[in-house]
Amino acid sequence: MTVHRYDGPSFADLQALVPASPDWSINWDSVWGLWCELQVLDACQQDPIHHAEGDVGRHTRMVVEALVGTKEWKELDEAAKGCLFWAAVLHDVGKPATTKTEEDGRITSRGHSRVGAAIARQLLWHAGTPFYWREQLCGIISAHQLPFWLIERPDPERLAIESSWRCPADLLYLHAKADALGRECEDQNAVLDNVALARQVFEDEGCLTQRFAFSNNESRVAFFERPGRDPNYAAFETFRCKVTFMSGLPGAGKDTWIARNRQGVPVVSLDALRDELGVTAIGNQGRVVQAAYERAREHLRNEQDFVWNGTNVTAQLRAKPFKLFRDYNAQIEIVYIEPSLSRLRTQNRNRDAVVPENVLSNLIQKMEPPGDWEAHQILRVVGQA
CA 292 to each of CA 167, 287, 297: distance values in angstroms, whole numbers, following the listed order: 33, 9, 9
Q: Which residues in 141-273 belong to E strands, given as ranges?
A: 241-247, 267-269
> CB count, 10 Å around CB of 297?
14
What's the pLDDT score for residue 66? 98
List Cα–Cα distances, 96 to 40, 57, 65, 100, 104, in angstroms: 7, 11, 22, 9, 20
Give the pLDDT score at 1.
53
Instruction: Check: CB of residue 355 under 8 Å from CB of residue 313.
Output: no
Determine contact, residues 333/244, Cβ cutoff 8 Å.
Answer: yes
Beta bridge partners of 378: 334
Element (H, E) at 333: strand 330-338
**CA-to-CA dists, residue 45 to 9, 61, 98, 260, 280, angstroms:** 27, 14, 11, 53, 43
pLDDT at 384: 63
Residue 73 has a pLDDT of: 98
**Distance between CA atoms of residues 276 and 262, nearest Å:** 22
CATH of domain 241-382: 3.40.50.300
Rounded-to-integer distance, Cα 6 and Cα 13, Å: 15
**Which helix (DSSP H) or strand (DSSP E) does residue 331 occupy?**
strand 330-338
Distances (CA, A) of 126 to 30, 303, 370: 18, 42, 19
CATH 2.40.10 fits 11-204, yes or no: no
**CA 133/CA 276 separation, integer angstroms:** 40
Question: What's the chain's length in residues?
Answer: 385
The predicted structure's pLDDT at residue 7: 67
**Secondary structure of 122-138 as H, E, C letters:** HHHHHCCCCHHHHHHHH
- Domain span(s) for CATH 3.40.50.300 in the chain: 241-382
Domain with CATH 1.10.3210 in the chain: 11-204
pLDDT at 86 (0 to 100) = 98
The pLDDT of residue 103 is 83
State residue 4's pLDDT score: 46
pTM: 0.94
**Cα end-to-end span (Å), the chain:** 26
Per-residue pLDDT of the chain (385 residues; tens, 9 = 90+): 554 445 689 999 999 999 999 999 999 999 999 999 999 999 999 999 999 999 999 999 999 999 999 999 999 999 999 999 999 999 999 999 999 998 888 999 999 999 999 999 999 999 999 999 999 999 999 999 999 999 999 999 999 999 999 999 999 999 999 999 999 999 999 999 999 999 999 999 999 999 999 999 999 999 999 999 999 999 999 999 999 999 999 999 999 999 999 999 999 999 899 889 888 766 778 889 999 999 999 999 999 999 999 999 999 999 999 999 999 999 999 999 999 988 998 988 888 778 888 888 889 999 999 999 999 999 999 986 5
